[in-house]
Structure 1
Amino acid sequence: MTSAPQPPARQGRRDDGERDRRDRDGGLGTAALALGLLAVGTCWLGWPGVGLGLVGLVVGFIGSRRAFHDPQRSGAMSLSGFVLALIGFVVGAWIVVPALLGIGTFGEGLTLDECMAQAQGQHEERMCASQHVDEYRARYGDPGTG
């Protein structure tokens, strides 16, 4: 007695093990890579690069850590997202930190009059005064005695 040939098993579809692996990942690799790319793309704006970079670092670290402990997973996307997020975070912080600390380069190489004319706020006026302390005190007096 001959039996009928068995139908081919699900052609063109992934096996259940691979699909389960993708489901267990939870999309951390994709999320980390997307956040890393956004962080690098917006790092020159300062704060967006810092924020997206920080979130991308956390997601990329978690995804890479899970992949490290589970040999069934590939952590390439998580690691790539982590590295890109780190670059976006560092460049964004490089732009933001001098502004926060007031150590920017506004007014360097200018006279006090030129610097004050270009100043667009109290913060920039203070930077001009700190760069030209002697001339500022001679004209306007010591700001600490007023």
Structure 2
Amino acid sequence: MTSAPPPARQDRDQRDPRERDGGLGTAALALGLVAAGTGLTAALWAGMDWLGWVALVLGLVGLVVGFIGSRRAFHDPQRSGGMSLGGFVLALVGLIVGAWLVVPGLLGIGTFGEGLTLDECMAQAQGQQEERMCASQHLDEYRARFGDPGGTGG
């Protein structure tokens, strides 16, 4: 009595290239989508400036993962680096938008509050980033009222 031979196991190198990706393409694409989405959400909605930090961090991680996945695909013809490259580009968008939102607040620069007095500017400020912009633009008036913020105080 003859039986059918068992199905041949696929060698690890003969599998579908997407299965050999190790998840880098999927991870890069997911990180890039979330980074770009949170960055654009923060840019479009007032009061959501904290999402700029999320976009900045996820964009940085997505860039690294996307770069590694794309580099591995470049050196291995059996791999497809499309998802890694797409994740890299989206993560770059998220990183740029996140930096565009975060850096002015860190440096105390921006256009918020131009043409207003310190009182008007502080009344319209919606968060620490805008308060720092007011203080930076009206530094002399701020120092006259509240003292030197960088001083030793003693």
Please report the TM-score for the alignment, with normalisation by the length of structure 1: 0.72
- Which residue of 96, 109, 126 maps to 2:135? 126
Q: Report the RMSD for the aligned CA atoms in angstroms.
A: 3.2
Distance 1:116 1:34 in 2: 39
What is the CA distance between 1:93 and its match in structure 2?
Answer: 0.4
- Which residue of 55, 78, 81 maps to 1:49? 55
What are the residue-to-residue correspondences of 1:97-112 with 2, within 5 Å? 97-112=103-118
Runs of 4+ in 1 over 6 A off after TM superposition: none
Matched, 1:114 2:115: no
> Structure 1 56/36 Cα, relative in aligned 2: closer, same or farther at 3 Å?
same
Distance 2:24 2:122 in 1: 50
> Structure 1 81/124 Cα, relative in aligned 2: closer, same or farther at 3 Å?
closer
| Structure 1 gaps, min length 5 | none
Q: Is the 8 A contact 2:66 2:84 kept in 1?
A: yes
> Structure 1 71/97 Cα, relative in aligned 2: closer, same or farther at 3 Å?
same
Distance 1:86 1:30 in 2: 16
> Structure 1 126/58 Cα, relative in aligned 2: closer, same or farther at 3 Å?
same
Higher helix share: 1
> Structure 1 124/75 Cα, relative in aligned 2: closer, same or farther at 3 Å?
closer
Q: Is the 8 A contact 2:59 2:92 kept in 1?
A: yes
> Structure 1 106/26 Cα, relative in aligned 2: closer, same or farther at 3 Å?
same
The structure that has the greater radius of gyration is 1
Percent of counterpart pairs with the same letter?
A: 66
Number of residues of Structure 1 aligned to a counterpart in Structure 2: 130
| Structure 2 gaps, min length 5 | 43-50
